[in-house]
Chain A
Amino acid sequence: MSIIEQTVDEPIDGLVATPEFEAANEAQQRRRGFLMALPAFAYLILFFAVPLVIVIVYSFATRNRFGGTDLNGWNLESYRGLGDDLVRQILVRSVVLAAITTVICLLIAYPFAYYMSTRRPAVRNLMLVGVMIPFWTNFLVRNYAWYVILGTDGPFSQVTEFVGIGETRLLFTQTAVVMGLVYGFLPFMILPLYAAIERIDGRLLEASRDLYANGFQSFRHVLLPLSMPGVIAGSILVFIPSLGAYVTPEILGGAKTTLLGSYIVTQFLSARNMPFGASLSTVLMIVMLTATLVYFRKGGRTL
């Protein structure tokens, strides 16, 4: 947002721009900007907005006896299904897991981002690359890697056995899902946090120490509030995909810990109850949208 505001052309000193000229110039700029954005617009409308509308429309439709969807007799039947005990259980479990994932990411990422922002540029860039490296490998493959790591007699279990904690069976537990999610989404927490912390003037921390704040007070009253935009941005970027995660819970969680993402897929593909799947998706979207709006309200600008 702020980028657009900053690039508004300033009139050059000495050139007298008449109001008419300025207006014409502005109109031309606007047209040119629109033309350049056209491919992106077209793509978004075709492959994002239209499917979105289809999902919302389907959520008000009726499932017929053959597993198809009748696009008539609009009703709220599928939304009523959200009150179902099983659904509520899955919903709560998903939110709790997503929240735990977010908090763990935050706890790991904050010190890391702070450390990174206090290094000299060369080291910083190296660390940034380190954060990005996992993206070079397919997400699915990386999840299967965790499948192997956490599996019975896998490396993780061998290590815990070796240090005397004993054999661990983490695969197909919620712990495994959280571990996988934290691993998968940690970069999304680190990057906005780093961007926010790196921007903070180090002298503010010095000033707080000079004004009798101890290390913790300095963090609590200066560093944390000033890095809040990064905290919020990172939390949203981790919480939202965790809430709707499909691949990781599917691979590491097994069948025992169904989460929202898997449940929605089941509605579409196995249960063939598209309206119900669509209503779940819609609700999920509304929750995420609200969270995002709250973030922007809080004045964050780092997304």
Chain B
Amino acid sequence: MTAAVEIAGITKRFGEVVAVDNIDLQIDDGEFFAMLGPSGCGKTTTLRMIAGLEFPTEGSLKIFGNEVGTLPPNKRPVNTVFQNYALFPHMSVRDNVSFGLRMQGTTKSEANRRAGELIELVQLTGLESRKPGQLSGGQQQRVALARALVNKPKVLLLDEPLGALDLKLRQEMQNELKSLQRELGVSFVFVTHDQEEALTMSDRIAVMDKGKLLQVGTAEELYERPLNRFVADFIGQTNLLDATVADDDMIVLGNGTKIKAPNPHSPGTKVAMSLRPEAIEIGRRGDVPADHVATSLNGVVSAMNYLGHSLVYQVKIDWIDLEVRTDPVASEDRLGPGDDVSIWWDRTADWVVPDE
């Protein structure tokens, strides 16, 4: 099967600045694909290159097998939902939505008919004659969707489409976008800096930082098996402990403690061990089960917070503060600040990543 989008060795430089640094990426047909990273990581530039709004400095970019490297945007079978929507303020909702069809030479009546269908699909029937300025943020965002989808793009590109909406509306739109994508079966390529958004909506996620593609995978893969420190830190919450590899089964933490941690790295490699807060068990000093001694540490509780569905402890281990999340227990069984404790985890719970 040909990939919807195939990026090979793409680099984009703006003068001295390298916005996108030699990335390879494949986006499958019908996939909900997210590009995730902090602002300035190159995700939007990558999206704009797929759209044709920027041309790559180097590398190859194919859409359904056709090289589109320097093809202008109007010659590509993709459409974009822009950040802040970029609706044409001087046109009605109907004219905004039918714009793409009219530019391709579809007759006015046919264009209007199909625009009407899309307007119905995004539930804006009745607002056809309004100008974008007379619509709420959520409605504008639906117009932007309809305006792009009316052209039946082979790939739909979305640049932080939910960024301008308030939380409740955002969650609503997340679900709608997801079901729309399933219904249409078109690949959605979605740029966001919100990891939760990416995790909930996407089939696969590409994590980018400083122009580099760090990892591509499902939400589960990224969360449980991050390839490096940045991904481990960026996806979900985690505790990162600096360490050095002793052998393929043992690492030495910063304070000299030896911890059993299977890893593929060569001895002496600087690594970080990622421990998710919910993967750590906590108990009074010495309560460590015998089979977990090799994966345990001693510490002192410095704070405890009750969050309803969980308890969060801050535990001071010598040189570092760790966050530990447990199920809520009766108040007399809770540990308090100052208590000497041990923490331990399953041997499969930790994950060692190269420290870079």
Contacts and interface: CB of A to CB of B under 8 A. Distances in A.
A226 interface: yes
A217 B83 CA distance: 23
A222 interface: yes
B193 interface: no
Interface string B211-240: 000000000000000000000000000000
B53 interface: yes
A225 B53 contact: no
Q: Which of A206, A209, A211, A222 has its CB near the most chain B CB atoms (within 10 A)?
A: A211
B313 interface: no
Nearest to B53: A206
Nearest to B97: A211
Chain A contact residues: over half helix, strand or loop, or mixed?
Answer: helix
Interface size class of A (residues with CB under 8 A): 10 to 19
Contact of B151 (A212, A221, A225, A226): A212
B79 A211 contact: yes
Nearest to B51: A210
Interface in A189-221: 201, 203-204, 206-214, 217, 221
A222 B88 CA distance: 7
B86 A211 contact: no
A209 B73 contact: yes
A211 B73 CA distance: 8
Contact of A204 (B83, B88, B103, B148): B88
A214 B73 CA distance: 9
A26 to B, nearest CB: 29
A211 B103 contact: yes
Given A206-B53, A206-B73, A226-B89, A211 B82 contact: no
A118 to B, nearest CB: 14
Given A206-B53, A207-B82, A212 B88 contact: no
B136 interface: no
A211 to B, nearest CB: 4
Contacts of B84: 203
B98 to A, nearest CB: 10
Contacts of A213: 74, 99, 103
Contacts of B100: 211-212
B228 to A, nearest CB: 34
B80 interface: yes
A225 B90 contact: yes
A203 B86 contact: yes
Given A211-B103, A212-B74, A226 B86 contact: no
A207 B88 contact: yes
Contacts of B104: 212
A211 B53 contact: no
Contacts of B89: 204, 226
B99 A208 contact: yes
Contact of A217 (B51, B80, B103, B151): B103
B74 A207 contact: no
Nearest to A207: B86
Contact of B86 (A206, A214, A217): A206
B90 A226 contact: yes
Interface in B58-88: 72-74, 78-80, 82-84, 86-88
Interface in B75-119: 78-80, 82-84, 86-90, 99-100, 103-104
B82 A203 contact: yes
Given A206-B73, A209-B72, A226-B89, 4 more contacts: A206-B53, A210-B79, A212-B103, A221-B103
20 contacts: A203-B83, A206-B53, A206-B73, A207-B82, A209-B53, A209-B72, A209-B74, A210-B79, A210-B80, A211-B99, A211-B103, A212-B103, A213-B74, A213-B103, A214-B72, A214-B74, A217-B103, A221-B88, A221-B99, A226-B89
Question: Which 9 pairs across A and B sit closest by C-beta, in order of nearness?
Answer: A211-B100, A203-B86, A207-B86, A212-B103, A209-B73, A213-B103, A212-B74, A210-B73, A210-B80
